[in-house]
Amino acid sequence: MGDGHSHRPTLKQENKRFKSKHATKSSLKEAAKGLPLVSPKSTKSLQKEAAQRRLNRKNAAKQEQTRKRSALISAARIFQGTGGAPRMIAVIPLSDDIDVTLSISTLARSVGADTEGIPSQGTFKLRVDRFKSTLQFIILPYGSFYSAMDAIKVADYTLLLMSSTTEVTSWGENLLRTVQAQGLPTVVPVVAASSSSDVADEKAKDRRALLKSLLSFIQYFAPHITRVYDLENAESDSLIALRSMCEGLPSGVRWREGRVYLCADSVDWEMATADDPQSSTAGTLKVTGVVRGAPLSPNRLIHIPEQGDFQIQKIMSFPSSVPSRSHHEGMDATPTSTLLAEPDSTSADSLVSTNQPDDMMNEQTWPTEDEMKGLRDDISKPIPDAPEGTTPKTIKRVPKGTSQYQAAWIIDEEDENEAEVSSEGSDEEMKSVEEDGQSERDHGSEVMEDLDMATEFGHEETIEEHDAEEESRQLEAWRNREREEADEAAFPDEVDTPKDIPARTRFQRYRGLRSFRTSPWDPFENLPRDYAKIFQFEDFKRTERRITKNAAEEDGTVQPGTRVVLYLKNVPRSVYESYHADSPFVLFGLFKHEHKNTVLHFKIQRDTEYEEPVRSKDPMILCVGPRRLRVNPIYSQHTRGGGKGVNNVHKFERYLRPSVASVATVFGPIVMGKQPCILLKETDDLSAPQLVATGTFLNPDTTRIIAKRIVLTGHPFKVHKRTATIRYMFFNLDDVAYYKPIQLHTKHGRTGHIKESLGTHGYYKAHFDGPITQMDTVCLTLYKRVFPKWSQLWKPETPDAMET
């Protein structure tokens, strides 16, 4: 035999690849994977598209540059020219040892301006010819908290004066945190000028360290600040600070965009005519100033902080000298004023803020014909005699139109005779009765006077004096609020079932929900009467967009930068008397419908510096946009992402928790736009309120359901696998049967239900979806809807908050 069998080196067969100039349809579909077929582009077309994209980017950049440049020019146009509006500068001292007059004099001397007549508080205009600009300083004394807030609302710049020898006080720091949440215009921080000789001897190294420390402090509130100007030692800093305010473009405040505002140069009041029914209490308020922000419409309302909303009577131009030629006198300059705008009676906003509910529009049951016939038959029948052993029905003769309730208080002659027959006593007793009757009549007259006073003022205020023991008890209860907040955090919403009152009676307004997010809850069920007084939007976002768009395009408006004399009608004289030349008098225009009341929701977060417990319905001062309201807000959970869920039910919060966003709800006037909101708490010092929380306006949703939750807890007395005997949740048999349909749950995650009652002391048997232990706690959750309270216009002299 020869050599062994040999095989060829490989068994793999290679076929020739398919040669084709173009790909097949199947291969294109496979590569595209379902995408639409796109034919390949040539290199020439790709280069052409790339060039076009470069050209488009250049054009877009050029258009953006032109847009920004035109926006800067239009923003600065209001300050340009001989009749341009002055730049408003709010001067805020942050320490009590600052000489405001000396600091402004130092700024004025840097450009060689006259320093005579600079007040310690009030307004002061400075014409700077070197920079062709006019500055109007709103000088505020130290400690004027609310005046400082109003001045910053209308200011273009905020001049913060800090001392070189004294730290910023707690009042100044509190004001900075408040106005930071409100919205700060361009901040110019300076070290105030001082007449002390110690400042001149200070070393340059120590001075640089001081400026660095103050810059670090102020950057916490205004991060864009890069330097602090020194008015004491560096003369050049005074000129640079003044130049930045004269030539710079102030940064706008977001919530002021699209809203008109005005700072009054002068205020006057005229008595109304005798034909006006309100002539004895109201008149016409004349306010002179420059329109700022947005065009001023005569059809919209004007809001004056701490005073209310008012209608515009007319808008006149500021009197200016116009040359007039006469045949005998030649040229004569006479001040003239022209009518700029008047309200239209068909489109002007009214002062109606609430609806007037008509009770006759409620559901009524009208009697049928058979019921009416039976009623007539009953009336025609004579009144039968009373059965023996019962009280006979008596018929009294009363005047026509007297109701049944009034007739019950009318004494019959027979009753008087019976009283005379039954009265027995000596002459001395009769004499004492007469004396007592006289004293009762005297006391009755005093009571009537008190009733008259109560009727006149709408409510009666009484001060109840407590003894020392009661005062100490109330003080201890007030101090226990911190412990209550800690208990609420450890055992949220848990309450004890009372032993002397049935649970179905004590918690009769509560209901059970199988699912807090998905169980149905009608938002219009059992609404209080207050909901008939408020207004509701079908689509608030759409209405808001339409109103803001129409406000910018409305005809017959006065453009920003125009100096006008604004006439407000039906203004009480007290508004004029509240005006002081030492404090700013500011006005804000309202959008359409902003005077009407509805349910307002604000997304807020508690301030980190406030440490006291904040409970729902505690009196607060709500600063939102141009308004300041006295409110008693209720708090609820804010759903992450702002979602409503299926039923729009949100859990009520007894306390405002730190580091967690919550929703505050009140009844108040409608707010347009993302307005910032601030919650302040009054203290014994009216000018030093405490900052509690800050946030923004959320929405005016009237269908948002705020559900207060309570948790009834029980103890597993006996346990056998998944079945347990529960006690201490109820204390009678009927309560167990009443709450039997509601689902139970435990703190360890088990769910179950009540099977049957055991005995008469509230014990019951429950079955769960898994084994439980005696260390667990059985819970039953109940909910009820809570409603907000009405807000009031805040005034410094008003008493504590009360519901309107």
Q: How many CA atoms lie within 13 A of 330 on its CB side?
A: 0
* The two three-digit tokens of residue 12, written as one number: 């793999």
What's the pLDDT score for residue 235?
Answer: 77
pLDDT at position 300 over 70: yes
Q: CA-to-CA distance for 174 and 448, rounded, in angstroms?
A: 49
Q: What is the mean pLDDT of residues 79-93?
A: 86
Q: CA-to-CA distance for 406 and 398, rounded, in angstroms?
A: 9
CB 191 within 8 A of CB 211: yes
At 87, which amino acid appears?
R
What's the pLDDT score for residue 583?
Answer: 82
What's the pLDDT score for residue 113?
Answer: 86
∠ Cα 741 743 747 (to 5°): 155
**Banded pLDDT at 201 (limits 50, 70, 90):** low
What's the pLDDT score for residue 702?
Answer: 92
Q: Can you list the pairs that 746-755 forms with residues at least 24 positions away whose Cβ atoms lie under 8 Å?
A: 746/772, 746/776, 746/777, 746/778, 746/779, 747/776, 747/777, 747/779, 748/772, 748/773, 748/776, 750/776, 752/722, 752/778, 755/723
**Banded pLDDT at 296 (limits 50, 70, 90):** very high
CB 189 within 8 A of CB 214: yes
What's the pLDDT score for residue 5?
Answer: 61
At 224, which amino acid appears?
H
CA–CA distances in Å: residue 678 to residues 154, 639, 655, 664: 17, 21, 17, 11
CA–CA distances in Å: residue 163 to residues 109, 184, 213, 557: 20, 21, 12, 45
What's the pLDDT score for residue 802?
Answer: 41
Q: What is the mean pLDDT of residues 487-515?
A: 87
**Banded pLDDT at 502 (limits 50, 70, 90):** very high
* The 3-state secondary structure of 568-600, one letter per residue: EEEEEHHHHHCCCCCCCCEEEECCCCCCCEEEE
Please give the model's pTM, rounded to 2 decimal places: 0.75
User: How far is C-alpha 295 from the geometric centre of its chain's CA atoms?
Assistant: 25
∠ Cα 50 52 53 (to 5°): 65
CB 393 within 8 A of CB 386: yes
Residue 3: Cβ-neighbour burial (10 angstroms; 0-12, 13-18, 19+) = exposed
pLDDT at position 290 over 70: yes
Neighbours of 527 (CB within 10 A): 13
pLDDT at position 578 over 60: yes
- Pick the closest to residue 680 from 634, 623, 636, 635 (CA basis): 623
With both helix axes pointing from N to C terminus, report the angle between 235-247 and 100-109 in degrees, rounded to the nearest 10.
Answer: 80
Residue 55: Cβ-neighbour burial (10 angstroms; 0-12, 13-18, 19+) = exposed
Q: What is the mean pLDDT of residues 580-594?
A: 88
Note the pLDDT tens digit of each residue in 87-132. Answer: 999 999 999 889 999 999 999 988 888 888 888 888 999 999 888 8
The sign of the dihedral angle between the CA atoms of 732, 734, 735, 739 is positive
At 343, which amino acid appears?
P
Beta strands in 494-562 (DSSP E): 494-495
What's the pLDDT score for residue 431?
Answer: 43
The DSSP result for 163-185, as a single string, is -SSSPPPHHHHHHHHHHHHH---
Whole-number average pLDDT of the chain: 81
∠ Cα 110 112 113 (to 5°): 105
Residue 528: Cβ-neighbour burial (10 angstroms; 0-12, 13-18, 19+) = exposed
pLDDT at position 556 over 90: no
**Banded pLDDT at 203 (limits 50, 70, 90):** low
Q: What is the mean pLDDT of residues 775-803?
A: 81
Neighbours of 716 (CB within 10 A): 19
Of 646 and 307, the structure prediction assigns the larger pLDDT to 307
At 65, which amino acid appears?
Q
pLDDT at position 139 over 50: yes
Percent of the chain with pLDDT over 90: 45
pLDDT at position 397 over 60: no
∠ Cα 83 289 249 (to 5°): 60
**3-class secondary structure, 137:** strand
pLDDT at position 335 over 50: yes
CA–CA distances in Å: residue 214 to residues 5, 97, 175, 208, 615: 100, 16, 16, 10, 36
Q: CA-to-CA distance for 265 and 287, rounded, in angstroms?
A: 8
CB 163 within 8 A of CB 278: no
Q: CA-to-CA distance for 431 and 220, rounded, in angstroms?
A: 82
Q: CA-to-CA distance for 604 and 600, rounded, in angstroms?
A: 12
What's the pLDDT score for residue 696?
Answer: 94
- Pick the closest to residue 193 from 89, 119, 105, 109 (CA basis): 105
Of 77 and 308, the structure prediction assigns the larger pLDDT to 308
Q: What is the mean pLDDT of residues 412-426?
A: 44
Residue ranges of domains in the chain, CATH in brackets: 78-252 (3.40.50.300), 253-319+337-354+543-593 (2.40.30.10), 494-512+710-785 (2.40.10.190), 596-703 (2.40.30.10)
Note the pLDDT tens digit of each residue in 31-53. Answer: 777 666 556 666 677 777 888 88
Of 73-77, 223-227, 591-595, give the lowest mean pLDDT range.
Answer: 73-77
**Banded pLDDT at 8 (limits 50, 70, 90):** low
